[in-house]
Amino acid sequence: MKRYLIRCRDQHFSLSIANELETKLKTIGYVLDEKNPELIITIGGDGTLLHAIHTDIDKLDSVSFVGIHTGTLGFFTDYTSDEIDQFVADLAVGGHRESVPLISMHCYNGGLRHELYAINEGRIENIIKTQVMEVYINGEYLEKFRGNGICISAQIGSTAYNRSISGAIIDSQIQALQLTEISGIHHKFYRSLKSPLILHPDTKISLRSDSFDGAMLVYDHLNIDLHKTTRVDFTLGEKEVHFLRLRPVNYFSRLRNLF
């Protein structure tokens, strides 16, 4: 693994770190290759890494990602900006590849309209009107939901948007899909699950509606309009993103840095 590419936050400090890193990587035989990299190094925060994964989603089978933290949140990143020398030394020794499954989202209106992927979460959200959806788990009807929307997150995304809507945080040793309601309507006429639902990683979650007008499918930092869509299916593991782990970082140490 000697060919690399840097995806950098567009900010002076991060750019200066990138320049410093390029110089030091030459000393251990690494070559900058923007077309066919084996390693993508992100310099910034978690957002920088998410952008890189989506930018290079067609390369996921052949590349690994590693992050250097200069941003506001570094849950995904393994090194800080003052550890460049340590990063280069560890890279020269090598590490192992950790594979993380992505959420696959298939949007239908009769036939397949969109096929999308997310690392953290995909959520259907409507801020214009109450969104009505039927929820199916592996083809079995679960509930009719009324409210702002529903968030489907993976384990790695359980600490992202899901956490802000009181979803459960899932340990890194457990692969799962999580369904969390967003501002559901709950009274004596309309009821839904209300609590987060943790599901087996092989589960298929289907969200169906006669009208998704005004609703968006938000996947990580991206979104599409769901006009004319009638069903969105969520599954886990069709694609994977690979992280290069050069040193152990305790999950609960990462978690502690969130608050």
Active-site residue numbers?
46
Q: Ramachandran region of residue 139, left (φ > 0), alpha (ψ -120 to 50) or beta?
A: left
DSSP string, 70-102: -SS--SS-SEEGGGHHHHHHHHHH--EEEEEEE
Q: Which helix (H) or strand (E) holds 163?
A: helix 161-164
H helix or E strand, kind and range, residue 125: strand 121-125
Residues 98 and 258: their CA atoms lie apart, in Å, by 22
Contact 182, 151 (CB under 8 A): yes
Could you tell me which of 112, 147, 122, 123 has the C-alpha nearest to residue 133? 147
Give the Cβ contact number of residue 166 at 10 Å. Answer: 10
Three-state DSSP at 105 gives strand
Residues 6+ apart with CB under 8 A from 45: 9, 69, 70, 71, 72, 73, 74, 77
